[in-house]
Chains A and B, each alone.
Chain A
Amino acid sequence: MLSDFLVAAIVAGTPLLFAVLGEIFAERSGKLNLGLEGMMLMGAVVGFQVGLSTSQVGLALLSAMIAGGAGALIFAVLTITLRSNQVVTGLALTMFGMGFSSFVGKNLVGEALPETIKLFFQPYPIPFLCNIPFLGPILFARDPLVYGGYAAVIIGSLYLYRTRCGLHLRAVGENTAAADAAGIRVTLYQYVHVVLGGILCGLGGAYLSLVDVPAWQDNITAGRGWIAIALVIFCKWNPWVVFLGAYLFGGLDIIGFRLQRFDIPISQYIIDMLPYLVTILILVISSVRKSRGSAGPAEMGHPYFREEK
């Protein structure tokens, strides 16, 4: 029973995992991209459409990543090169994604995914690791993209804390002018990491529509993009903590569905509010904590233009 719940929590948390990790990279470069919801929706709808019409998992995931990355590229051009306000641009991207996905998704409602895709996302137990008592079958008998999520977090953390590029990225986010003066190519770093964030968001969206749900429904993300932005704060911009944050919210996401079986007297609608209420709670708690010292990248949300310094 408990292990069923944990498995479902991991599956429901995987879209969040990719989105949160992506946003950490963007924010570490000093860019606050509020367009996560839009980029996830773009990835979800494009991935689903391509998966449906080609039956190719690789193509579906690739095109979802391109869709998310393209959305992020729009954001990057607008905020980095054309100097528009990051908050407004992020909102614009979210609204574009909402409209675009419901326009494209009109014909996708009720369509079932081809067998090849369902087959690809069946669990592949990892030898030895899946024999660990209790946790083994939960963590190491999952579908390939869950493993992809593990790998992304581990590689992302090592990249951020153990490589020269990661060090430069953190420098750009903490003090852009100093990083610029030290010869780091600030604009390049910002572009690359904002777009990388979008690619990961698109992948998360595709996992949502191809595996987690798996079907198309209008506004399929239901606020997960916004929750992911709050989770970045919860994780204190540290990729390692993404495991905790994403799977915790994956659990909250499905708890209403799971509790239906127990005939509890609380309406499911009230339980379904939980992820959103807990998100507000997290924001409140981490803001209180923030006043005692752990804030995000110092330059986050601020524009940087060399000649205006």
Chain B
Amino acid sequence: MKIGSFYLEKRTHVRWYIQGLSILIALLGAFGVGALLIKTTGANVGEAYAALFKGAFGSRNAFLETLVQSTPLILTGLAMVVAFRARVWNIGAEGQFFAGAMAAAWVSMSLHDTLPYPLLLAAVLGSAMVAGACWSLIAAYCKIRFNANIIIVTVMMNYIILFLLSYLLSNTWREPGSYFMQTARFERITYLPRFFSSRLHLGFFNALIAAALVYLIVWKTSLGYSIRAVGVNPVASQFKGIQIKRTILTVMLISGALAGLAGGGEIAGLQHRLRLDISTGYGYTGIIIALLGRLNPVGVALAAIFFGALVNGSTHMQIFTGVPVALVQSLQGIVLIFLLMSDVLTRYRIRRMPHAD
């Protein structure tokens, strides 16, 4: 590809600082465009970003709240790491999140007086993982049995589960006498323990454990080897004897379970009732987090905390400078676009054309 007298030459070797540089460029670019968007609202850019930062890290409580916001994002990000490492485009984390939340809500509503305390929490979170895995199984089946486009199927499943939830919340699950579409508040026994007298709940530590497990599974087991091999070269892996369909199925189940756990954790740790707005697109944000974290669990945790900070800080920013919270949502897409652009740096060297023809 020639651009004027410059051309791109493929790098054989990508150094770590080039990776870091590319992420830095992406973030700077996104905040630059964000500044333009803030200007259109008439607010002062410096003040808005200062308020954003203060809301996210300004105090001990603000920082803990940032971790609270990052909890579901770590898990949906990890869900994407497992899937994308195998190049299985699971865009259905949003629906799998809701499947997990619904299962957790159901267990909270129907089993709260039959199971003892720690067992009940295990049932709440376990059912969330199973439900997330089952919801993604439908898409996996369409892919494996019929070779249907998994991207579109998973996106459709995201919409379908929202209608299913609306149906339940308008009928059997609706809080009696409530104006809102929501369940009644669950019994206190179904709540996850909280720490540091803040809203930080057990779910955050679950997410960190999940990150460690994902690392072990993807890099230290033979299953992980198959996952990465299928992602890099499906044809070669098939010749090597890796069963591609079985790998896709496993990947989708793990991915769905992680996203489901995110939903269950939000229900049991934070929301304590089921509503339609418990997710602000955590499943979709997970995609960006996974890519920004370079499909690696540590990177994902850091990226999730960064996005958690943006979400948390944006409320503060809206209150004090009037810039709408939706700014952060548009920043997410912009970060990804800039990341893709600056990734050229990591994969290619920009060279000047030699003058010999």
Contacts and interface: CB of A to CB of B under 8 A. Distances in A.
Are A and B interaction partners? yes
Contacts, number: 141
Q: Majority SS of interface residues in chain B? A: helix
Nearest to A97: B333
Given A97-B333, A98-B329, A280-B142, A82 B288 contact: no
A135 to B, nearest CB: 32
B324 A106 contact: yes
Interface in B41-76: none
B333 A98 contact: yes
B164 interface: yes
Contact of A284 (B142, B160, B331): B142
A95 B156 contact: no
Band of interface residues on B: 35 or more
Interface-central residue, A91, A93, A100, A227, by most chain B CB under 10 Å: A91
B170 interface: yes
B152 interface: yes
Interface string B326-351: 11111111101100110110011000
A200 B222 CA distance: 47
B49 to A, nearest CB: 16
Given A102-B326, A270-B163, A223 B170 contact: no
Contacts of B243: none
24 contacts: A78-B337, A82-B340, A84-B343, A87-B89, A88-B291, A89-B337, A91-B91, A93-B333, A96-B336, A96-B337, A99-B326, A99-B329, A99-B334, A100-B330, A103-B324, A103-B329, A230-B149, A230-B152, A230-B156, A267-B170, A283-B142, A284-B146, A287-B146, A291-B147
Interface of A: 34, 38, 74, 78, 81-85, 87-89, 91-100, 102-103, 106, 222-223, 226-227, 229-230, 233, 267, 269-270, 272-273, 276-277, 279-280, 283-284, 287-288, 290-291, 305-308
Interface of B: 1, 3, 8, 10, 37, 89, 91, 142, 146-149, 151-153, 155-157, 159-160, 163-164, 166-167, 170-171, 281, 284, 287-288, 291, 324, 326-334, 336-337, 340-341, 343-344, 347-348
